[in-house]
Amino acid sequence: MSSRGRVSSLLPDFPWDTIASAKAEAAAHPDGIVDLSVGTPVDPVDPLIRTALNSVASVPGYPATHGTPELRAAVIDALARRYRITGIAPAAVLPVIGTKELIAGLPRLLGLGADDLVVIPEVAYPTYEVGALLAGTKLLRADGLTQLGPQSPALIFVNSPSNPTGKVLGVEHLRKVVAFARERDAIVASDECYLGLAWEGRAISILDPEVCDGDHTNLLAVHSLSKTSNLASYRAGFVTGDPGLVAELLEVRKHSGMIMPFPIQAAMTAALGDDAHEAAQRERYRARREVLRKALVGAGFRIDHSDAGLYLWSTRGEPCRTTLDWLAERGILAAPGDFYGPAGAEHVRIALTATDERIAAAAERLKAH
């Protein structure tokens, strides 16, 4: 095999390429497709954020990899204000070019290799697996610590609220993960991109004092503004936690030229400083969730977990590809659960990220099932 094909050969097929036929079927619906397969925002970026972006569009110089002091201060303030996360130093905040990029690269950025074990959730966003494959590490899907036995992982990925299931891990579960990791000197990377979208109960950060007792050693929290502020196109995210780990990530990223553009840093600073636009977007998603949830249950679906996030983890008790086709016949495209691991084989992930008109259209089609 040529060297050009070695990296791509490590990776599974890109998941969304495997549902092309279902997408074509849904697109043939006389009233158009309702695409609920991808969690991409459809609502406008708030003017406050766009103004901040434009205000520095003429700056020609290189930005700082570590981010502006104003951005790092805004992160610290927002985490304390919105999620009760305290004790973060400015040096322990690092902007990233979208959190998918960070997650896919994290095992390599941390220097992990063939002798190291990376643990990911049993049902997980595909990028966790991709990160392990690209670094050449060992991989284990496990939700319970007992599944690890005597093994000592190098990196444990936690995702709460979960994509795709919307499951929220409670304080006691997260405390056990932290204690387990500390016994084995493992790093915990907590993907918290949906932390601000809890619908039932409370979602909590790995960095919350209730979870870690104020000690961020070997803990990383990954946050995104893609969903809460409609900034997916901006690739606006950040990682924070253990100052030593963040410094290590910063050093590698500086050498690699992995720098968030300066206008995006300004836009993030504005977004993090304003809670009103986030609350308005949250209300849009809450209303869409109610419409879709009622319609799915009425059409015979069971919805599991889905206590938070932008998805309804739904099943008809049959193989997910059968459900995918059933929905496609009605002009609705979902993501099959097998995208996220074998344990998702009977579920589909149905996104809330469509306009009110398209959500209403999906609901009407489900009622006419």
For 191-236, the DSSP string reads E-TTTT-B-SS----TTSHHHHTT--TTEEEEEESTTTSS-GGGTE
Say whether pLDDT at 5 is over 70. no
Q: If you search the block for the tokens 């056990």, which residue do you land on? A: 176
Q: Which residues contact 358 (CB under 8 A, 6 or more apart)?
A: 34, 35
Residues 58 and 266: beta-carbon distance below 8 Å:
no
* pLDDT class of 8 with cuts at 50, 70, 90: low
Instruction: Report domain extents, the chain.
Output: 3-44+277-367, 47-273
Pick from 85, 236, 245, 65: nearest CA to 155: 245
Q: Which residues contact 154 (CB under 8 A, 6 or more apart)?
A: 110, 112, 116, 117, 118, 137, 186, 187
Residues 103 and 131: beta-carbon distance below 8 Å:
yes
Q: How far apart are CA 210 and CA 214, in angstroms?
A: 8
Pick from 228, 153, 211: nearest CA to 186: 153
Percent of the chain past pLDDT 70, that is, above it, reads 96
What is the 3-class SS of 229-250, one letter each residue?
CCCHHHCEEEEEECHHHHHHHH
Q: If you search the block for the tokens 């977007």, which residue do you land on? A: 281
CATH number (2.40.40.20, 3.90.1580.10, 3.40.640.10, 3.40.50.300) of 47-273 reads 3.40.640.10
Say whether pLDDT at 318 is over 90. yes
pLDDT in tens, 140-174: 999 887 888 888 999 999 999 999 999 999 999 99
Query: Which pLDDT score, from 0 to 100, does residue 17 have?
Result: 80
Say whether pLDDT at 122 is over 50. yes
What predicted TM-score, i.e. pTM, was given to this entire model? 0.92
Pick from 136, 135, 168, 139: nearest CA to 153: 139
> What homologous superfamily is domain 3-44+277-367 in, according to CATH?
Aspartate Aminotransferase, domain 1 (3.90.1150.10)
Pick from 279, 344, 266: nearest CA to 305: 344
User: Collapsing DSSP states into helix, strand and coil, what is residue 317?
Assistant: coil
* pLDDT class of 7 with cuts at 50, 70, 90: low
pLDDT in tens, 67-93: 999 999 999 999 999 999 999 999 999
Q: How far apart are CA 137 and CA 157, in angstroms?
A: 14
Query: Which pLDDT score, from 0 to 100, does residue 90 have?
Result: 97
Pick from 134, 139, 138, 147: nearest CA to 177: 147
Query: Which pLDDT score, from 0 to 100, does residue 1 have?
Result: 42
Q: How far apart are CA 234 and CA 42, in angstroms?
A: 13
* pLDDT class of 224 with cuts at 50, 70, 90: very high
231-256 average pLDDT score: 96
